[in-house]
Amino acid sequence: MLVHSFPTTYIFIVILSLTCGSLSSVPIRTEQSNENFVQNQDEFIPTNEWQIVKEGQAIPSGLHVRLNLQTGLREAKLLDKDEKQKESTNDLVPVSNDDTQQQERISRENLERAFANLDLSKDDVTTDEKHEEEVKTKYRPYDELKKDFEQMNMKVQTDHELLTDLLKQLNATDNNENRKTILTDLEFYLHQYDNAILFSDMHGLELLLQLLNSTNVNNDVRHLTCLTLGAAFQGNPKVQLKALNIGFVPHLLRLLNTEVDDNIRFRLMFTLSTLLRNFPQAQKSFLEHGGIETIVTLIDQTGSNNKIQLRAIELMNDLIVEKDQETNEKRNVYDSIDIRDRLMKYDWCTKVSHRLTSNDMHNFDQIERLLTAMISFTDVCRTNFLSLLPTLEKLNDVYIKANPNEVSTFTDLLTNLRTQLKQTSSNDL
């Protein structure tokens, strides 16, 4: 038994001493007290013999400690080999004394001397009660916590149940505010790969397509519908395939051609790009349903939103780079996807050059994205792009002036593009 409370311990020792005679000490594991006391700096060096522990003197852990009732002093020594092998330290150890009669006789004077060193002012029961009250104020009762957890567990839903509920709510409501809330939740959950597949298996894609085509929803709902579809399509081949089979590619192209709200068209471009990326079958459908013509129309439209034009140019470049970087094993899948060649039929080089020269020279983000899109057309657009060298030089000067002592992707792109344009292509030989 580990002894933690001096008053209880000493009373226990005295009773044992009175009843057992020669048994007068209890071995305990030492613990440092947090109470204030005068610390003795003398180092206690334990041996195999009992030594007196001075008041306030620190002793190492793992020693055999006893209270000698004849002297009222604490004593300590190293554990014997037999004692070290024992798990428990609850054994009573007899105090060795040559005079057994003197050991068995405990006088009132010795008892008074022993109790003189004890602090009996503390009330362990009171202290424990105070501690218990402190614990009650800091922590909630177990029964109360158990009820809360039971209530929480009743509300826990699997992803399948949650998506089912959201779809039911979306299908049943005709309130646009409710639709916005539901779509926001769906977008969050559909970023998870398995949830998006589950959603498509529940015919959720068809419901979202209905919302895009509906005249009874406002632009906020259509905007969120585009984002939700993008979350489901992005990097998820199974969902992309289901969307392709439903006919999403021609539907999105038709909406891009007929939509008058630039913000919705911008989001439709986002949704289309998530469906086409890394999915050659959808890219083939894009070409078959007039996707190139739709992109060219967006760029040619007078007063068209600059963000939409830039997004269209970036998408075409990304799909071309995707094909160029594809490994040999899958290269044959992209053989029939000739996006670069088809764009060249619509004077793509001139359109991109015009976009660069008409752009604000201080909008470095947009210019950097345009420069990136031009790199993959350097060879086929060399003649047209050579006329841009003065513009590229000026852009470099403007950027350095605005960002002195800074080397960035922007300047690297400018240098790379100028270097490629000045090189003699294989077609020029």
Q: Where are the domains of the chain?
A: 348-424
Q: Bridge-partner residues for 25, per DSSP? A: 93
The answer to whether the CB of 53 falls within 8 A of the CB of 44 is yes
Beta bridge pairs of residue 93: 25
DSSP calls for 243-266: HHHHTHHHHHHHHHHH---HHHHH
Whether the predicted model's global pTM rises above the 0.85 cut: no
Please report, in tens digits, the pLDDT of each residue of the chain (429 residues total). Answer: 444 444 444 444 443 443 344 333 434 444 444 444 455 667 788 888 888 888 778 888 778 888 887 787 888 888 876 655 554 444 444 445 555 455 545 556 665 666 566 555 555 444 556 655 665 566 566 667 666 666 665 455 788 999 999 999 999 999 999 999 999 999 999 999 999 999 999 999 999 999 999 988 999 999 999 999 999 999 999 999 999 999 999 999 999 999 999 999 999 999 999 999 999 999 999 999 999 999 999 998 856 668 999 999 999 999 999 999 987 777 888 988 999 999 999 999 999 999 999 999 999 999 999 999 999 999 999 999 999 999 999 999 999 999 887 778 899 999 999 999 988 544 454
Length of the chain equals 429
The predicted pLDDT at position 217 comes to 93
Closest Cα partner for 262 from 206, 313, 310? 310
- Between the alpha carbon of residue 243 and those of residues 144, 150, 268, 274, the distances in Å are 49, 41, 15, 11
Per DSSP, what are the bridge partners of residue 76?
A: 51, 65
424: left (phi over 0), alpha (psi -120 to 50) or beta: beta
Q: How far apart are CA 199 and CA 28, in angstroms?
A: 66
> 383-416 in b/e burial notation, b at 16+ Cβ within 10 A?
ebbeebeeebeebeeebeeeeeeeeeebbebbee
And the tokens for 166?
């959201």
pLDDT given for residue 278 in this prediction: 94
d(CA 121, CA 100): 34
